[in-house]
Amino acid sequence: MKKTLIVHAGLHKTGSTAAQIALMGLRDVIEARGVLLHSPDGRRIAHHQHASAIAHEKRFARKAAMFERLAEAARTFKGHSIFISSEDFESALGDPDALRRLSAFCERADLRPLFLIYLRSPIDYFESLYLEMLRHGQPLAADELAEDVLQEGQYSWRKWTFHFDASAVAHAIDGVGLSAKFRDYHALASGSTVSDLLETLGFAELAAKAPAEARANVRRANKNLLRFLHNRHGEAAPSKQWLRPVEGILRATPPRLSRAMRGRFQSRFRAATEGIDAAYGLGLTEALLAPPPRGPSTRLESVFSVAAADRLMRLWKDCPGAPPESEVARLAEEWGEGPGAGCAKG
């Protein structure tokens, strides 16, 4: 009987890093029960190079020896499954050629591939991912990127492709004869990716032994605006100290998609989300259609906009010492959405 190659493919921003760390701490116990937690370097369960190679034909050819080592580890393991993990596998999910490369490798290695994919609602995913990508130099304004996602159902930046249309992903995987198990990030077992992953692998009783889940990728309010300005204007952008009062607005009223943009995301992705829910017994549609969290917020498209960037650059040049309190208050009022939105205190 073929062994199963479980490919944990994220998605991004679903606790993959925390899961990789936690599973490494339980490696001996899990492998004794028949699941090889393959570690390329012996220190962590993270297969970013494998994911990158699968997504690019020339790189896949250059990394043949790396895949042979994975195949050899699978051949010599006495259990029934091999587990590999990287959120970067997301880039391959909508690409039939990349999926065929994985399928061909598994055929040569006598493995049965199974994707394990954690999904977020498109709105929730966009809000989290946009801020994360600012850390990686992504310069587009929020509304520009949102338009790309609404039109294409995905977007690409540098080596990554991010998917918002889960039905399209499922169709691509099924189209090349592969299998996938989808999980709902909004309905995790015990509220934790680590616990849910252990339960999905058949080790629910080990969840209590897993290290406490400390998300390495949590959304941070500070420095997002600084990164946005630096991504667009380079070293000519204001300093961290100058921007601190403006960043304070975002700590008090976190940025979220506006009501209007939420409505557009709901219209664009509702049918696809209902389709994946029906096919795999998920509840993502409820998360997609849910109202935004209670409390004041700022509009993501207003804060991270071309107009806001230009305005802050002009203000910095006019008032290089610090932004006037009156201007900070005006920005808070203009960016705010929802009851109680207004000037940041502090």
CB atoms within 10 A of CB 21: 18
Instruction: In whole angstroms, give the CA distance from residue 4 to residue 82.
Output: 6
- CA distance linking residue 301 with residue 308, whole number of Å: 10
Options 3.30.70, 3.40.50, 3.30.230, 3.40.5; CATH of 3-121+161-209:
3.40.50
Q: With contact defined as beta carbons under 8 Å apart, do 117 and 73 qualify?
A: no
CB 201 within 8 A of CB 30: yes
Name residue, tokens 């650059």.
Answer: 313
Could you tell me the residue ranges of all domains in the chain? 3-121+161-209
Omega prior to 36 cis, within 30 of 0: no
Tell me, what's the pLDDT at 230? 95
- Res 341: pLDDT: 36
The pLDDT of residue 215: 46
Angle at 263 (CA atoms; ends 257, 265), nearest 5 degrees = 75
CA atoms within 13 A on the CB side of 119: 30
- Please give the pLDDT value at position 338: 59
Rounded to whole angstroms, the Cα distance separating 223 from 318 reads: 22
pLDDT value of position 45: 94
Residues 328 and 316: beta-carbon distance below 8 Å: no
Question: How far is residue 31's CA from residue 73's CA, in Å, rounded to a whole number?
Answer: 12
Residue 7, phi then psi, degrees to nearest 5: -105, 95
- Ranges of residues in the chain with a pLDDT under 70 are 211-222, 338-346
CA distance 101 to 99: 5
Q: Find where tokens 């050629």 sit.
A: 97
User: In the prediction, which pLDDT does 190 show?
Assistant: 77
